[in-house]
Amino acid sequence: MWNKLPLYRFLEEQSVYSPLTEDPETYEKIVKANEAYLNTQVMGENEGAVEKEEEEKTEAEEETETASAGNNLLAPVAETPCPVLDLSPEKLADYDYLLNQFFIVDTNTSADSQNLNAAAFMEKDLTLEKDASQPQILIYHSHSQEFFADSDTSNPEDGVVGMGNYLTQLLTEQYGYQVLHVTEQFDVVDGQIDRNRAYDYAREYVEPLLEENPSIEVVLDLHRDGVPEDRRLVTEINGKPTAQIMFYNGLSYTVNNGPVDYLPNPYIQDNLAFSFQLEMQAAQYYPDFYRGIYLSGLRYNLHLRPRALLLEVGAQTNTVEEVRNAMEPFADILNKVLSGE
């Protein structure tokens, strides 16, 4: 896919692959003011973030998303790229531009030109040879109890689990993938919402599942974000009100403690490349859809596969309809990356 683009050819010789070997822990919730980015489109994305990154070897974060069931599958078709950012080779080779336009770096971690390198990200072949006879994509929810502004919280279809159902339907019926959707509740303990060990519980469940299904190469942890109540993460795509998305990556490194050796992730650069290639597709076809790639200090179970992704769709202030609509362009850009379009 990428080796057909002028950008790839321009940056190919500049590619520097320098995976991180560090690894921090987790905190419960990102509610944090993001820096100016994406052409000042989004100014201050998540606010707040109470980190739980002390001595607990757990991983927790909070963002969810939901989608109702529906019979009409209509994956958005965006045949003509319409980027609003400058995606020229010169610009993407400029580290400061790359950082400011595509990434949001949490204050608990740090990044540099060695681990954020457009050429390195784009030279990675993340395509997937489609085989509908066996599962290739896994969708799960570390925080299954995340709902939206108008959700019926007694109905899982009104939360992130329902969004996972709709995304599964799109990827299966519209694009021909076989998808395994896990709906287990990893953030409920003794009948109460408790996210302190949600990532640990999710990992303990998902790891054996991946061992049983080695054909699975894509792992998506679907969340919903948490933002101030007066913030709406919504745009319009194909005439529909659509929640905006954000990719969330852990660098396994904190500024206070450095590498977290007990949470190793050999796939940090692969994870970042996966997020970046998805964001590049969104930048070309749905430029108002994506909010950026949020970089934090922990791992978030992204070590499970090279093509592992933590996806934040909308926030608690979005409606179920807006988040459900977001599944369509996301399924489209995911297919573009996996098919090499």
Instruction: Give CA–CA dist 203/91, Å, rounded.
Output: 38
State the pLDDT at residue 37. 36
Q: Hey, what's the torsion of the CAs at 267, 19, 263, 32, to 10 degrees? A: -90
State the pLDDT at residue 339. 97
Residues 6+ apart with CB under 8 A from 94: none
Which DSSP string do the residues of 8-75 spell out, in sequence order? HHHHGGG-------------S----PPPEETTTTEES-S-------SS---------------S----
- pLDDT, one tens digit per residue, over 17-66 is 333 333 434 333 333 333 333 333 333 333 333 333 433 444 443 333 33
Radius of gyration of the chain measured on its C-alpha atoms: 18
Ranges of residues in the chain with a pLDDT under 50 are: 2-72, 75-78
Instruction: Give CA–CA dist 323/241, Å, rounded.
Output: 9
Instruction: Give CA–CA dist 224/313, Å, rounded.
Output: 5
Sign, CA torsion 70/68/330/335: negative
State the pLDDT at residue 80. 72
- pLDDT, one tens digit per residue, over 233-258 is 999 999 999 999 999 999 999 999 99
State the pLDDT at residue 10. 38
State the pLDDT at residue 44. 36
DSSP state at residue 85:
S
Residues 6+ apart with CB under 8 A from 38: 85, 101, 102, 290, 291, 292
CA distances to 68, 156, 183, 283, 327 from 323, rounded to whole Å, are 9, 14, 18, 19, 7
Sign, CA torsion 97/102/107/109: negative
Which DSSP string do the residues of 91-149 spell out, in sequence order? HHT-HHHHHHHHEEE-TT----TTTS-HHHHHHS-------TTS--EEEE-TTTT-B-T
Q: If we measure between CA atoms, which residue out of 3, 64, 91 comes closest to residue 311?
A: 64
Contact predicate 73/173, CB 8 Å: yes
3-state secondary structure of 284: helix
pTM across the whole model? 0.79
